[in-house]
Structure 1
Amino acid sequence: MINSGGMADIWLATDKENQTFAVRLLHKDLKFDFTARKRFLQGCEILSKIHNHDCVIGYYDHGKMEGTLYCVMEYVEGANLKELYASHDPVLLENVGNIIIDMATGLEHVHESGFMHLDFKPENVLVTRNANVRVADFDLSQPIPDKPRKASKNPGTPSYMAPEQLMREAFDQRVDIFAFGVAAYELLTNVKPFPGESPAEILNKQVDRSGFLKPREQNPDIPLALEKIILRCLEQDPDKRYPFMTVMAHELKTALYV
């Protein structure tokens, strides 16, 4: 086993031609959990539709084996972003600009394919030893609605949720843009923009902002143009954020001279 999450374990496997794969298996104790099974299968189905992109984890197959749901994916030899910045890995330090752009490019592809990720965070961004990015884990993903709508349930990671999610209001793909802003801020400063121990505390800091520090106040080396992009992503009002990832990705490349 090479990794374990809240819903599944990931195993390394090889075929007869010695090609390597990552096989994701739903936890056995969730075998009869209808919600978990539905999310796992939904994540597989969405990945099967959007995987054909350099910045999204590769997909090969999914199904059921001896009663256990599985998904066969590309094996990424590397680590997730959270692990990289926690260890101050040189791969991240030397390629942070390109990694941020590739994160945006991957998320842009997800949106252009008609889906919102809904759990975008550093743990779900894998980085190879050559600094290539793969956006992963689509268990919570949903089709982008025609107009913002409320969700009956509110799964996800509160630190990366937009205010409208935490307040259980209607939302759309712009919550991913907020999550991207949180991840980019954290990547460049090593701290979260709105830290908190509970969803209520996080929401309070998102709304109040009296203690909020701009990225360049945490790290003066951040280009001013990049700070402006992150701040727009982190706007409390979704109408003040970027309307589409395509617009933001274009501005990112311009800001970072790519």
Structure 2
Amino acid sequence: MNFLKRLFSKQSRIPRVNIKQRFELIGRVGQGSMSKVWRARDYNTGKIVALKVLHKEKTEELEARFVGLNKPKEGEIAVQFHHPHIVKTFEHGITTDNEQFLVMEFIEGYSLSYLVEAQNEDMRTNCLKYMIQLGEAINYFHQENWIHRDICPRNIMVDNAHQLKLIDFGLVVPNTAAFLQPGNRTGTAAYMAPELIKRQKTSQKIDIFSFSVTCYEMLSKRLPWEAAETLDAVLQHINTPPENIQNLLPDLNPQVAEAIMKGLELYPQDRWQTMKAMLEPLKQAYQSSHEHLKESKAKPSATPSAKPQTATSKSTTSPPRKKKAGDQTTSQTKRSPHAEKRIKKNDAQDAPLKNDRPSPKKPKPKRKKPDENS
């Protein structure tokens, strides 16, 4: 019966595409466990695109886990997304080899996993911004009633304009009761939520957990637990509390640290209940850091080191102000030790102020009478 359904289904009527005739395959740019990705030129449009071809047997094995649930295919899901931090999918279909393919925008940039490892200037400068962009992409997913199930750095790109893009949707499922039932355990081991590992009922909070692990790694270059490749090793997520990120990064904004650690809670009810709620403290921290940066850039004009310069500029345009008896003592009591050192170095500039008191007048010599010359 299932065979007849597939035979007469809409999928069976989709025309097959010979991708070697349709695309110029310029070069391989990525390969995951379930797909291959090429940088390609689409002969129909002339545009450079990313051509993703799914591995036939592995895709069928994954879809078999959702038997009877009518899980949408990756291409059917991907073309629905329209968000600045989610890669655009222009088209999907079936190849002449009966493989699923997706035509996506080509992103010039780097994998987030590379930036996590490199911890270069880009990562140090933009890390919090990237965290917020990723959170907004996940929030969009959730608002559209999906669960990503595989948030991790290798599924994320950062383009040359410093814009983060979520690029993989192979494990995405609808946020409906049928897909939340216990039993289905799919994802990347080190980023999986405890309830997913234990094959319990899931929710969108598994994405919040994976997002928190990713943010932790973006900031610290390590996972909250010892790195693990197998599910047996990942069971430590359940039995061992994560290392507090502020132990590793004492200077990290407490709002950011607390938001991440709350997202890593063992029990879903103790985590952030929505992605939107978790984004709030991250955005507040980002805004305050920018305001602090603006203030620090504006401060040099008002720092003590600028006083001698101001004094000098004033002395060239107007005569120096005469000091009162107590002026010098008052100004000295207000100077910090650092300011005192700077002022000592600039004695030459201060000289006009120090010598502004008029010197006592010398008595004029008496004029001699003419007859005294003889």
Structure 1 residue 204: deviation in Å? 2.4
Could you say which residue in structure 2 is the equivalent of 1:237?
A: 267
* Contact 1:148–1:172 (CA under 8 A) maintained in structure 2: no
Deviations, residues 76-135 of structure 1 (Å, cap 9, x unaligned):
111111111212333222211110100100111111111010000011111012210111
Question: Which of the numbers 208, 225, 232 marks the counterpart of 1:200?
Answer: 232
Is residue 140 of structure 2 the alignment partner of residue 113 of structure 1? no
Q: How many residues align?
A: 253
Which of 64, 79, 82 is residue 94 of structure 2 equivalent to? 64
In the alignment, structure 1 residue 99 sits paired with structure 2 residue 134: no
The question of whether the paired residues in 2 share the 8 Å contact of 1:194 and 1:206 is answered with no
Cα deviation code 1:44-63 (max 9, x no counterpart): 1111112x100101110000
Q: Does 1:34 align with 2:66?
A: no
Whether 1:225 aligns to 2:255 is yes
The structural deviation recorded for 1:19 is 2.0
If asked which structure has higher relative contact order (CA below 8 Å, sep 6+), I would say 1
- What is the alpha-carbon distance in structure 2 between the residues aligned to residue 6 and residue 18 of structure 1? 29
- In proportion to residue count, which structure has more helix? 2
Distance 1:23 1:112 in 2: 28
Contact 2:34 2:58 in 1 (8 A): no
Alpha-carbon distance between aligned partners in 2 of 1:126 and 1:41, rounded to the nearest angstrom? 24
User: 1:171-226: per-residue Cα shift (whole Å, max 9, x none)?
Assistant: 100000000000000110111002243323322244332xx321111122321000
2:245 maps to what in 1? Answer: 215
* Counterpart Cα distance in 2 of 1:12 and 1:127: 17
Structure 1 runs (4+) deviating above 4 angstroms are: 36-41
Q: Which whole-Å CA distance do the structure 1 matches of 2:39 and 2:235 have between them? A: 39
Q: Residue 201 of structure 1 aligns to which amino acid in structure 2?
A: A
Greater gyration radius:
2
Q: Residue 52 of structure 2 aligns with which residue? A: 24
Query: What secondary structure sits across from 2:102 in the alignment?
Result: strand
Conservation of the 8 A alpha-carbon contact between 1:103 and 1:135: yes
Residue 172 to residue 69, structure 1, CA distance change in 2 (3 Å): same
- The alpha-carbon distance between structure 1 residues 33 and 230, as it changes in their structure 2 partners (threshold 3 A), is closer
Report if aligned partners of 2:195, 2:201 keep a CA contact under 8 Å in 1. yes
TM-score of the superposition, structure 2-length normalised? 0.63
The answer to whether the 8 A contact 2:192-2:209 is kept is yes
| Aligned AA (2:223) | K
Distance 2:63 2:264 in 1: 33
Between the aligned partners of 1:36 and 1:242, the Cα distance in structure 2 is 29
Which of 22, 28, 32 is residue 5 of structure 1 equivalent to? 32
Residues 147 and 224 of structure 1, relative CA distance in 2, 3 Å threshold: farther
**Distance in 2 of aligned mates of 1:41 and 1:96:** 33
The whole-number CA distance in structure 1 between the counterparts of 2:77 and 2:166 is 13
RMSD: 2.2
Letter in 1 for 2:49: F
Distance 2:62 2:221 in 1: 32
Aligned counterpart, 1:164: 195
TM-score, normalising length from structure 1? 0.90
The percent identity for this pair of structures is 25
| 3-state SS of 1:257 partner | helix
Unaligned runs of 5+ in 2: 1-27, 289-374
